[in-house]
Structure 1
Amino acid sequence: MSIGRVAGTVAAVVLPLAWSNVVLPRLGLGVRKRTATNAGFATGYALALRGSPNWCSKDGVRYGMLAASVVAAGYGAALALPPARRFVGAIADRGPEVSTVEWVAVHIPIGTVYSEELVFRGTLDPLLDQAFGVRTGALLSAATFGLWHIAPARAAGDSVPATIAATTAGGLIFGRLRHRSGGATAPALLHLAVNAGGAVAPRLARHLEGSFRER
């Protein structure tokens, strides 16, 4: 690998980490400006590094909808079982600055899913695959995806090691879906199902628990 290619690969890994963990937190933006700014960074990053998200992949839609339906079924089962429902209902809301509708309809799809899938599955994954091979590239990209979440975990008061571990595992799953479907659409749909369900399920759980108590 040439020196120029090595430098380009290192920059491709470092830039998202610096953005998510240093630059974006220091801007001190509200949720709406943060969503717009994050999406702008992702778009610029993909354009600069010639990302290939392949959003219009038919296989991406098919695999993504299948994966999302599995997640939706899991949330449904959790809401149906009283112990699991109470556990889900105890989870704090993640979008306190805006309504749940705005959080799920705007900020999760654009600020999180579009931005992260374009940066990672649409741009960094293919680049690392070319540089290191599919297996090593997948591990490096997933680890970078995990480290991307350090500042968000701190801001939310979550365990940083646990967040890194969980999101690295998620990155491996999303990366596998990208390889299987040929684009970022499938992991984006799965990502959307996980995050949107995580925002809606606690509210539904609390509503259901309240309804059962009134009977």
Structure 2
Amino acid sequence: MKALVLGAVTTAWSGAVVPRLALSDRRRAVVNTAFGVSLAAVTRAPLGLKNWRSGLAWGLGAAAVPVAASAVVASVPSLVQRVRPSDDDLAEWVLFRIPIGTVLTEELTFRAVLDAASPGSSPIFFGLWHIHPARAAGDSVALTVVGTFFAGVLFSWLRRRSGSVLAPMMLHYAVNASGAVLAVRARDLVAR
């Protein structure tokens, strides 16, 4: 029951509350971070920080995969051209919005709080969390929910395997930051 309540709260937050605030990307990152940190603090979610060595080792190993894949994509112009270009400021994106507004928020919310309440529900609600962002970006909601569900399964497995929230944080950051770098690379290729 606790997991359902927490899942409903996270889904309402992402799908109804935050969109109605009509915030800039930077402010949305701050508000989401406050939500995730508060939720983790109120529920006293286990972070597994005592297992930081295991979290770091698993996280570095897992993060190497998307970083290597994006390096391959970045080196092949025909592949980069398939990436949606972005005009976002890369530094703000990879140094603030992704690590703070996305990774910290989502990993505290889903891998610390919801995994502690019910590991099986965490990927489901992680997928639902992405409904509004998919709509806002013009992406397929169904594909986004399914894709983020499976990402949530992997992140949750990594959390359990490493014993620390650091491992999924590192993989999550590597995936998103690699995507951001590729989006800016695609923009630069279009501008040529």
Note whether the superposition's TM-score is higher than 0.5.
yes
Distance 2:77 2:24 in 1: 36
The one of 51, 63, 73 equivalent to 1:78 is 73
Q: In the alignment, is the contact (CA less than 8 A) between 1:124 and 1:141 conserved in 2?
A: yes
Report SS of the residue matched to 1:155: helix
- Distance in 2 (alpha carbons) for counterparts of 1:204 and 1:17: 32
TM-score computed with the length of structure 1 as normaliser: 0.83
Contiguous gaps of at least 5 residues in structure 2: none
**Counterpart in 2 of 1:105?**
95
* Structure 2 equivalent of residue 132 of structure 1: none
SS of 1:87 mapped into structure 2: coil
How many angstroms does 1:207 deviate by? 3.9
Cα gap change, 1:99/1:85 in structure 2, threshold over 3 Å: closer, same or farther? closer
Q: 1:177 aligns with which of 142, 145, 158?
A: 158
Between 154-163 and 53-62, the greater mean CA deviation after superposition: 53-62
Aligned residues with identical type, % of pairs: 40
Residue 85 of structure 1 and its aligned partner are, at CA, apart by: 2.6
Cα separation, 1, equivalents of 2:7 and 2:191: 46
SS of residue matched to 2:128: helix
RMSD: 1.7
Aligned with 2:8 (options 14, 20, 26): 14
Q: Partner residue of 2:185? A: 204
2:33 counterpart letter in structure 1: A
Q: Pairwise mapping of residues 14-33 of structure 1 onto structure 2 (< 5 A)?
A: 14-33=8-27
Report if the CA contact (8 A) 2:63-2:171 is conserved: yes
Deviates more, 1:189-198 or 1:98-107: 98-107
Looking at both structures, which has the greater relative contact order when contacts are Cα pairs under 8 Å and sequence separation is at least 6? 2
* TM-score, with length taken from structure 2: 0.92
Partner of 2:36: 42
Q: What is the deviation of 1:209?
A: 7.6
- Cα offset, 1:203, TM superposition: 2.1
What are the ranges of 5 or more consecutive residues in structure 1 without an aligned counterpart? 1-5, 129-136
Q: 1:58 is matched with which residue?
A: 53
CA distance in 2: counterparts of 1:87 and 1:32, whole angstroms: 27
Aligned 8 A contact 1:121 1:183 in 2 = no
Counterpart residue identity of residue 85, structure 2: A
Letter in 2 for 1:22: A
Aligned residues: 191
TM-superposed CA distance for 1:10, in Å, is 2.4
Structure 1 residue 114 and structure 2 residue 109: aligned?
no
Aligned-partner SS, 1:188: helix
Match of 1:191 in 2: 172
